[in-house]
Structure 1
């Protein structure tokens, strides 16, 4: 347990990855938390060794006791890779209303291009969909899913891929449950060909009307990143619209990473960029179909990071509490290896910035994933490095004011 310079913020290390190869290491994607406070996540490396010294990845559970005072680590699935199983889970997990976990693997499967899977509460993993092989970087459905899924009220899964599709730039897809079992796959959109470095398609966020929004790092008109929307019509078809192309900052791409989050009004979204200005920004952007506006919308910068003063280079999105305050992680800091920050919403609509905690090697290094709020207060996240075994940690941040996240 480490206390920040502000005595009201405490960071606790709940688990140190890398004790054994079989338990896995290098956490990827945001954590998922159940009503009891137990945490679920994925690891990119470790687990079974089938001729690959880095392993193929793991789904894990960090089971909490009644009061969240102690945790027990358990591997729920070790990916075998090859055509029978997925490999390299990166996007994190979501918990469905049925209590099962759903996620994606960026590799493996019958096409060697990734899978969508379900992990039942009894530990059985089922591949719901195997993406097709790519030829010349292209296929009909997408490849390398690297982000979390979204589950609609009828159980349909929506997600993105960062490669494949008819242009090789990834896709947006849906998987709808069939009445007799199984899922029906639909390719909703093919992104443009990849032009920039560090290209990836983030996860989706859905508004109350069933429209989706997302970010493409290194996409858009200037290969510097884009905000996009998929707008649903009455016949359940989707129309893709590029909402905003981030400009180059001098000669550097802006690179929005992670996923957007929507406020409780459903009218405004929030996200981060990693390189705009000095070392990144937190921004807001209005939701809704752009055809209903008289002038194109522009992102509003809520905070600009400065690598000479405070945290910098956020690699993940933010979460929002019921008061409209924003919380996130940044990869770097002047005194340590990244940290956790807060943007407090003021009455006039602006935000004040505060660094809540800076990591050091013992507590972890370089957080790259979006935080998640716990049912008993506190925020949870992971670091990609550092900790007891130098292979990452799971941490909890507690503040004097308990937060209620939307």
Structure 2
């Protein structure tokens, strides 16, 4: 039996600044861990298709399942060693990282493993780390990328000379692993670009992955960590170096990409000149970092945030500090930690709960919002058995649905998690109605419709509408276009899917000034002045679609001046579609000298040997021939 379940409830009345509505914040201890059985929680939580929460514990190396009300079921207590949480894959299995375990030795212990677990708790090893080029001691589970592969980091290893610690050579790696288990090292940290990555990767809307390192990073001052970007193929760039003096130090916990497109995270130490208790920071995708909250060294705000922040469905950021606050626990007064909320701008900061020992101490599990609207987390210490607690914060937020993938093309199947799904009568992606299959009351699938638009998904259920917590990006596609060639001013019909929100059409990279959205599957555009022979592109909020085929911009000669002349005469040829001119002929004889002045003008020199006849211009789009003949004198 697991330790006895105890409920400790603290209710706070909090008023959002500028709002008239009062929301009750209810903190509840759902479970007290027992050191003789398992605990405390460690790493990230994941919601399964059954609406239960899954995670791992530090001691006795357990994997557990919790109902949303706190009823625990142990699933495994031996396969993962020091697990750091799990991620739900689109195949319904959970994928996790265990810091120790495996068959290879690193220092005084084993190097760690990646594991896969079924919903029923059957665990298999997914990858056995060697401590060499594949890294060692994986920190947090891998995440599933939009390409279906898994991406993660190890805290040590990589077999580089820099950052060696405890007999393990290297400061960690970024890796990719396919569902079949094929492992690829994408990047080895070398000290100058960071050491000892901590937290979980996050995939941005641009398709790249973002993460942090806890140490090193040396442009001029160094040692306090980095924020980096890495592509699915391993293209790596440091976006920000954390300085030793002033500003955030030692980023810790996962990054998130919020609804405004920026990345948010926490630094365990540092702050401005008056503070030293850590920070919450914001970073633009290009790397500009702004501190939005400084935790004073002595304050009821709390100190040492180590678990990142979560953006809930009210748009605010929620997080925890490991110490500080007003509670008393095993560490003494003002040492138990806090649970806080703030806006994306850092405004309206408020402590929602001061941990007290009885309600747990030193929260270090990243907050997770369940589709019932509540936030869940865990503490490392205290509670009834002094081994940490599993808790819930009910902040008055509505139930929602969670999409397993956040972008896709028409025809793609999207998995949806939630509750009360039985009896669903409609699913829409933006304004487009989707076909769907309700698998259970907590899990269903839907097919992205050709008429879908980039927006939140909405479900009509017997208990009322449910809206997805995040926007789904409908990726546009171009299936065909007709005609396949034409001069400037030609009307071209482009067919595809997801075209309702078209904001831009290009021909060879040149923007069309006139286009009409006829249907979600059809756009009519006019070939613009200056258009080049090349691909047709369509831009929507969901992305950019590029045609497989090439549209040929056919050149036109409308006139030339003078109309006669001897070899060596300079002739100005006017028309359209002339920007890509590769050849000019006079009576079939190629000019050796010509200049493309613009899309509507080419200046050519009558070549030696030219004969009276038509002037012709050749481009990648074809050949234009003048109506009149040029007379060679």
**TM-score, with normalisation over the residues of structure 1?**
0.82
* 2:322 aligned to which of 303, 320, 331: 331
Greater RCO (Cα-Cα under 8 Å, separation 6 or more): 1
Residues 246-395 of structure 1 aligned to structure 2 (within 5 Å) = 246-249=242-245, 254-265=249-260, 267-277=261-271, 278-288=276-286, 297-309=287-299, 310-336=301-327, 337-345=336-344, 349=345, 351-395=347-391
Residues of 2 paired with 1:352 and 1:253: CA distance? 21
Residues 6-45 of structure 1 aligned to structure 2 (within 5 Å) = 6=13, 8-18=24-34, 21=36, 23-34=37-48, 36-45=50-59
Q: 1:306 Cα shift?
A: 1.5
Residues 162-311 of structure 1 aligned to structure 2 (within 5 Å) = 162-167=155-160, 168-177=170-179, 182-193=180-191, 199-221=196-218, 222-232=222-232, 237-249=233-245, 254-265=249-260, 267-277=261-271, 278-288=276-286, 297-309=287-299, 310-311=301-302
Residues 66-215 of structure 1 aligned to structure 2 (within 5 Å) = 68=69, 71-79=70-78, 85-89=79-83, 91-111=84-104, 112-132=110-130, 134=131, 139-167=132-160, 168-177=170-179, 182-193=180-191, 199-215=196-212
Q: 1:126 Cα shift?
A: 0.8
SS of aligned partner of 1:183: coil
Decide whether aligned partners of structure 1 residues 381 and 38 sit closer, same or farther in structure 2, where only a CA change above 3 A counts.
same
Kept after mapping to 2: 8 A contact 1:36/1:375:
no
Q: 1:359 Cα shift?
A: 0.7
Q: 1:100 Cα shift?
A: 1.1
Q: Deviations over 1:373-405 (max 9, x none)?
A: 011111000000111100000000112344865
Q: 1:128 Cα shift?
A: 1.0
Decide whether aligned partners of structure 1 residues 228 and 262 sit closer, same or farther in structure 2, where only a CA change above 3 A counts.
same
* 2:66 aligned to which of 62, 79, 82: 62
Kept after mapping to 2: 8 A contact 1:35/1:375:
no
**TM-score, with normalisation over the residues of structure 2?**
0.54
Q: 1:202 Cα shift?
A: 2.3
Q: Deviations over 1:6-65 (max 9, x none)?
A: 3721111111101x62x311211122123554211101112xxxxxxxxxx11111134x
Q: Deviations over 1:304-349 (max 9, x none)?
A: 112422212101111113453111011112312112100124xxx5
Residues of 2 paired with 1:171 and 1:189: CA distance? 5
Range 237-246 or range 349-358, more displaced: 349-358
Select the structure of larger CA radius of gyration.
2
Decide whether aligned partners of structure 1 residues 63 and 400 sit closer, same or farther in structure 2, where only a CA change above 3 A counts.
closer
Q: Deviations over 1:128-154 (max 9, x none)?
A: 11011x4xxxx1210000112111244
Kept after mapping to 2: 8 A contact 1:227/1:244:
yes
Residues of 2 paired with 1:175 and 1:35: CA distance? 23
Kept after mapping to 2: 8 A contact 1:60/1:74:
yes
Residues of 1 paired with 2:224 and 2:296: CA distance? 20
- Over aligned residue pairs, what C-alpha RMSD do you find? 2.3
SS of aligned partner of 1:342: strand
- Count of aligned residue pairs for this structure pair: 356
SS of aligned partner of 1:388: coil
Decide whether aligned partners of structure 1 residues 238 and 27 sit closer, same or farther in structure 2, where only a CA change above 3 A counts.
same
Structure 1, unpaired ranges of 5+: 47-56, 80-84, 289-296
Range 161-170 or range 26-35, more displaced: 26-35
Kept after mapping to 2: 8 A contact 1:223/1:253:
no
Partner of 1:49: none
Q: 1:183 Cα shift?
A: 1.5
Decide whether aligned partners of structure 1 residues 94 and 156 sit closer, same or farther in structure 2, where only a CA change above 3 A counts.
same
Residues of 2 paired with 1:353 and 1:88: CA distance? 34
Residues of 2 paired with 1:323 and 1:388: CA distance? 32
Kept after mapping to 2: 8 A contact 1:6/1:356:
no
Is 1:2 the equivalent of 2:9?
yes
SS of aligned partner of 2:31: strand
